Amino acid sequence: MLDSHAPSRSAVWLPIFAGLCASLVSIGLARFAYTPLIPSLIQAQWFSANDVVYLGAANLVGYLIGALIGRPIAQRTSNTTALRIMMVAVTLAFFACAFPLSVVWFFAWRLLSGIAGGAIMVLVAATVLPHVPAARRGLASGAIFLGIGLGIAGSGTLVPPLLSLGLQQTWLGLGLLASLLTAASWFAWPGVTLHEAAAPMATSARMPSGVYLLFAQYAFMAAGLVPAMVFLVDYVARGLGEGAHIGAMVWVMYGLGAIVGPVSYGFLADKLGARLSIRVVLVVQAIAVGLLPLASSFTALAVLAVILGSFPPGIVPLALARVHELLPNHHQQQVAWSRATVSFATFQALSGFAYSALFNSSGGQHALLFVIAAGAIVVALALELGMIVLNRRPLDTVPTHTLPLTGFAK
C-alpha cells in the first residue's frame, strides 16, 4: 500500500533534507551551541555561574513540554505546519537571546527553543519516513538526525569566530543561520503524509513488554548523556585548566562524533538489528564515560569526545528502529515513539537540574557527574538482562496477525 503511494526517487531527498534542517536548527544549534557559550556567558557577566547552568537546563525542560504537545499541535494543524511553526520559534529565540534583559527573559526563550525541539523530535520522523522506501529507513532516519551532529560540530567551529565579534553578535549570527535553514526547508516538507490523510487505525492491543523496556532504557540513556553534553567544554576549560581554546577543540571532536553517530548507528540497526545494536552501543558508551575523569592528555580527551559525541544523536535513529522492530502498525509506532521521546525528555530534564544542583553543591566536581552518568548507562544495559531473566523469553517482535486480537505481557 505504502509503495504504491511512494514518491519518485528523485523527490525522496527533499523531505529528508527538510528533516535534517529541522533537527539541525532545533536541537543541533538551539541546544548544543549553548555548551561552548557557557564560559563566555560567565566571563562576560551576563549571568552568574549558577544561573548559566540552570539556563542550560531550561532547554531540557522545554524539550519535555514539546514532546508532550507536539502531536496535539499537529492534529489541530498538520505535521508540516507544526514543524514550520517550531522552526520559526527557535529562530526567534536565537534573536531574543542576543538581549539579556533578565534571567526570566532568557529562561523563557531558552524554554521555548526546547519546546520546539521536543515537538520536532516527535513529528519529524513520522512526517518524513513514510516517503522513504522501507529498506532504507534506518539510514534515512540517521540522515534526518544527522542535523543534530552537524549542529554540534557547527557550534564548535562557528561559535568561536562569532565570539570574537562579541557575545551578542554570536546569538544574532546563530539566529541568521537558523533563518536561512528555515527558509531553505520551507517548501521541502511533504504536503501531506500518507498516514495523515487517513484516520488512524484502532489500536486497542497492549504494547509488548519490549516497548516498555525501550522506554526505560531510553530514559536512562538520557540521564547518561547529559553531563558530557552540558559540562564537557567547562570540564576541559576550567576543570582541567586547559582553557577555552582547548575546550573548543575537544567540543569540535565531540561534534565530529555527532556527525558520524546518526548515520553509523542507523546503518548498524539496518545490519545487526536495533536490539543488538543498542547493547553494543551501551557497553561502549559506559566505558567511554567512565574513562572521561581519568583522561588528561588531549589525545585521550579527543578520542573519548568522538565516542561520546556519537551517542546523543546516534541513539535517536537506533531507538526509532527498535520501535519499528517491535510494532509493525504505523499508528502504534507513532504513539510509541511519542511516549519514548517523552520518557527520554523527562529524564533528561530531571537529570539536567539534578546534575546542575549536584555540580553547584559539590563545588564544581565534574568527575562525580561523569561517574553517575556511567552508572545510568550501565542501568540501561542491565534493564534488558533483568527483563530477560524475568520473562525467560525473547522480546524481539510482535506477530502482526495477533495485534488486533491479543494483549501482551507487561
- Report if residue 76 sits inside a domain: yes
pLDDT of 60? 81
User: Residue 108 sits in a domain of what CATH number?
Assistant: 1.20.1250.20
Q: From its phi and psi, is residue 364 left (phi > 0), alpha (psi between -120 and 50) or beta? A: left
- Report if residue 199 sits inside a domain: no
241-275 confidence digits (pLDDT tens):
887 778 878 888 888 898 888 888 888 887 788 78
Contacts within 8 Å (CB) and 24+ apart, 355-358: 355/226, 355/227, 355/230, 355/231, 356/53, 356/54, 356/56, 356/57, 356/230
Return all residues near 162 (Cβ < 8 A) that are at least 6 apart.
169, 170, 173, 174
| Cα–Cα distance measured from residue 400 to residue 208, given in angstroms and rounded to the nearest whole number | 12
| pTM for this entry | 0.75
Report residue 274 CA to chain centroid gap.
17
Structural domain count of the chain: 1
| Cα–Cα distance measured from residue 78 to residue 81, given in angstroms and rounded to the nearest whole number | 5
Kindly give the parts of the chain with pLDDT less than 50.
1-6, 194-204, 394-410
- Report if residue 409 sits inside a domain: no
Task: Tell me which DSSP letter residue 393 carries.
Answer: S
8 Å CB contact between 181 and 72: no
Task: Tell me which DSSP letter residue 308 carries.
Answer: H
- Report if residue 198 sits inside a domain: no
- Residue 102: domain span: 8-188+205-398
- Report if residue 158 sits inside a domain: yes
Task: Kindly list the distances between the CA atom of residue 11 and the CA atoms of 6, 21, 131, 395, in Å, as whole numbers in the listed order.
Answer: 10, 16, 9, 36
Report residue 257 CA to chain centroid gap.
14
Return all residues near 13 (Cβ < 8 A) that are at least 6 apart.
none
Report residue 291 CA to chain centroid gap.
23
| Cα–Cα distance measured from residue 116 to residue 226, given in angstroms and rounded to the nearest whole number | 19
Length of the chain: 410
- Report if residue 111 sits inside a domain: yes
pLDDT of 388? 65
pLDDT of 180? 94
The three cell numbers of residue 325 are 522492530
| Cα–Cα distance measured from residue 368 to residue 362, given in angstroms and rounded to the nearest whole number | 9
- Report if residue 73 sits inside a domain: yes
pLDDT of 132? 67
8 Å CB contact between 204 and 123: no
- Report if residue 106 sits inside a domain: yes
> Inter-axis angle of helices 167-185 and 79-96, to 10 degrees?
160
